[in-house]
């Protein structure tokens, strides 16, 4: 009996030590030259990992504060995470069909009081609005996340939305993909020219000392964007690594935390999303593993499989349509932040639950952040 008790206590002790080691495991940014603000932000994310979840909201360039204001009106809170999109200009007769993703030249989606209209601001002006807002929000203690709906490289920043939303029957051929991801080809050079244009704005943020949760080419395991549905070593992984090397080594962008943002896997015919692992470029090129959850598809496996793939790295909800129920929220504690996609916060179910989720004991809003010395920490 005594021996059994001793073995039991040893097993408990080893379990506690193992858990403590897991909690203490923190990764440095994958970019070894990351500026101190980036290192500190990532360290902050690890300090709350599994304990708290940061709240967020996406805003569009054409109405840069609108959904901040909506969240405040619904919950009485200001989210910590502020998101926006470098986006594109929608061309063609069906421009307004793509209003939902916030093209730079269209009025903001979800604002039902404003008809879909073409704006007179240029791409440069709109992207500058995003950068100026991001700098301001950062100094208020917000954490900035940026993304990029990107036209096929031959079209630069101006395209019919169907050029981005290709769907499974119109995705690039393997020959086109190989040209895109091969240094020095015409298509590869056009893609780099697009990245040069985005780097201009990321460098402004770097000069202002603003760290960015950078999540380009999201939902790559789906079948809807041109960069989707290319699994394996010569697929999306190669594109991601090329982008990482170009922005990090050539453009010397050291203010980015690299957020690899998948879609939650699903088997919907014609709207599938493949397994996370088939598109993962590896831990040397990813700081945060994220998933987008739409259609209220809150499977526990979406959370657990991303945790397993990350091996201790931060995971997050890059975009959500429906907010999780409080039960789901409590059963999936490793999400380090969530961010509703702009106007989705106005969906009837979200309106009902928003106050409960944003005011949940595990949620961190801006009023809980101490940013007095330009570092992120929780108020005591």
Tell me the average pLDDT across 337-355.
97
* Higher-scoring residue by pLDDT: 380, 2: 380
Distance CA 280, CA 231 (A): 9
Choice among 175, 179, 319, 327 that is catalytic = 319
Cα three-residue angle 153-158-163, rounded to 5 degrees: 60
Tell me the average pLDDT across 225-248.
97
pLDDT at res. 23? 52
**What mean pLDDT value characterizes the chain?**
93
% of the chain at pLDDT higher than 70: 94
Distance CA 296, CA 272 (A): 15
| Residue 19 reports pLDDT greater than 60 | no
Tell me the average pLDDT across 141-159.
98
| Residue 187 reports pLDDT greater than 80 | yes
Contact between residue 160 and residue 105 where contact means Cβ atoms under 8 Å apart: no
Distance CA 307, CA 300 (A): 11
| Residue 6 reports pLDDT greater than 90 | no
Confidence of residue 114 (pLDDT cuts 50, 70, 90): confident
Contact between residue 79 and residue 68 where contact means Cβ atoms under 8 Å apart: yes
Three-state helix/strand/coil letters over the chain = CHHHHHHHHHHHHHHHHHHHHHHHCCCCCCCCCCCHHHHHHHHHHHHHCCCCEECEEECECCECCHHHHHHHHHHCCCECEEEEECCCEECCCCHHHHHHHCCCCECCCCCCCCCCCECCCCHHHHHHHHHHHHHHHHHCCCEEEEECCCCCHHHCCEECHHHCECCHHHCCCHHHHHHHCCCCCHHHHHHHHHHHHHHHHHHHHHHCCCCEEECCCCCCCCCCECCCCCCCCCCHHHHHHHHHHHHHHHCCCCCEEEEEEEECCECCCCCCECCHHHHCCCHHHCCEEEEEECCCCCCHHHHHHHHHHHCCCEEEEEEECCCCCHHHHHHCCCEEEEEECHHHHHCHHHHHHHHHHHCCCCEEEHHHEECCCCCCEECC
To the query of whether residue 23 is one of the catalytic residues in this protein, the response is no
Query: What domains sit in the chain, N to C, each tagged with a CATH number?
Result: 29-378 (3.20.20.80)
pLDDT at res. 285? 98
Tell me the average pLDDT across 259-288.
97
Tell me the average pLDDT across 356-378.
98
**Angle (deg, nearest 10), helices 186-207 and 123-139:** 40
- Spell out the residues 6+ positions from residue 8 whose beta carbon is closer than 8 angstroms to its own: none
Three-state helix/strand/coil letters over 89-128 = EECCCCHHHHHHHCCCCECCCCCCCCCCCECCCCHHHHHH
% of the chain at pLDDT higher than 90: 90
Tell me the average pLDDT across 224-244.
97
* Report field, pTM of the whole predicted structure over 0.85: yes
Neighbouring C-alpha atoms within 13 Å toward the C-beta of 217: 26
Q: How far lies 136's CA from each of 179, 208, 284, 286, in Å?
A: 40, 10, 31, 27
| Residue 18 reports pLDDT greater than 50 | no
To the query of whether residue 219 is one of the catalytic residues in this protein, the response is yes
Cα three-residue angle 297-349-303, rounded to 5 degrees: 25
Tell me the average pLDDT across 295-312.
98
Confidence of residue 14 (pLDDT cuts 50, 70, 90): very low
Locate 28 and state its tokens: 């440095």
Confidence of residue 368 (pLDDT cuts 50, 70, 90): very high
pLDDT at res. 113? 79
| Residue 143 reports pLDDT greater than 80 | yes
Tell me the average pLDDT across 177-204.
98
pLDDT at res. 111? 80
| Residue 4 reports pLDDT greater than 90 | no
Locate 262 and state its tokens: 């998948």
The least confident of 100-109, 136-145, 280-289 is: 100-109
* Higher-scoring residue by pLDDT: 312, 20: 312
Choice among 37, 93, 179, 219 that is catalytic = 219
């Amino acid at each position: 009996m005594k021996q059994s008790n001793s073995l039991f206590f040893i097993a408990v002790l080893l379990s506690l030590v193992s858990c403590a080691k897991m909690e203490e495991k923190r990764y440095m940014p994958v970019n070894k030259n990351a500026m101190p603000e980036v290192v500190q932000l990532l360290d902050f994310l690890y300090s709350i990992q599994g304990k708290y979840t940061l709240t967020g909201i996406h805003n569009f360039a054409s109405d840069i504060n609108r959904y901040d204001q909506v969240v405040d009106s619904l919950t009485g809170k200001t989210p910590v995470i502020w998101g926006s999109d470098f986006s594109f200009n929608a061309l063609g007769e069906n421009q307004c069909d793509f209003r939902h993703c916030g093209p730079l030249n269209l009025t903001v989606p979800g604002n039902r009081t404003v008809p879909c209209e073409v704006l007179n601001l240029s791409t440069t002006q709109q992207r500058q609005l995003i950068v100026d807002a991001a700098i301001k929000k950062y100094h208020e203690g917000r954490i900035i996340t940026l993304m990029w709906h990107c036209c096929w490289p031959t079209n630069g920043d101006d395209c019919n939305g169907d050029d981005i939303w290709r769907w499974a029957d119109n995705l690039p051929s393997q020959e086109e993909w190989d040209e895109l991801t091969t240094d020095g080809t015409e298509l590869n050079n056009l893609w780099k020219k697009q990245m040069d244009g985005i780097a201009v704005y990321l460098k402004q943020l770097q000069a202002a000392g603003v760290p960015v949760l950078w999540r380009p080419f999201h939902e790559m395991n789906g079948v809807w964007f041109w960069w989707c549905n290319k699994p394996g070593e010569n697929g999306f992984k190669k594109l991601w690594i090329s982008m990482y090397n170009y922005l990090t080594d050539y453009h010397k962008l050291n203010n980015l935390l690299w957020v690899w943002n998948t879609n939650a896997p699903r088997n919907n015919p014609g709207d599938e999303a493949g397994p996370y692992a088939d598109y993962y470029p590896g831990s040397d090129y990813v700081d945060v593993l994220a998933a987008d959850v739409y259609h209220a598809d809150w499977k526990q496996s979406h959370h657990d499989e991303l945790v397993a793939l990350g091996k201790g790295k931060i995971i997050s909800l890059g975009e959500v349509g429906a907010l999780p129920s409080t039960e789901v929220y409590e059963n999936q504690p490793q999400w380090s932040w969530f961010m509703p996609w702009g106007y989705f916060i106005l969906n009837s179910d979200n309106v009902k639950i928003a106050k409960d989720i944003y005011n949940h004991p595990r949620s961190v809003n801006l009023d809980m952040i101490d940013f007095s010395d330009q570092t992120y920490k929780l108020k005591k």
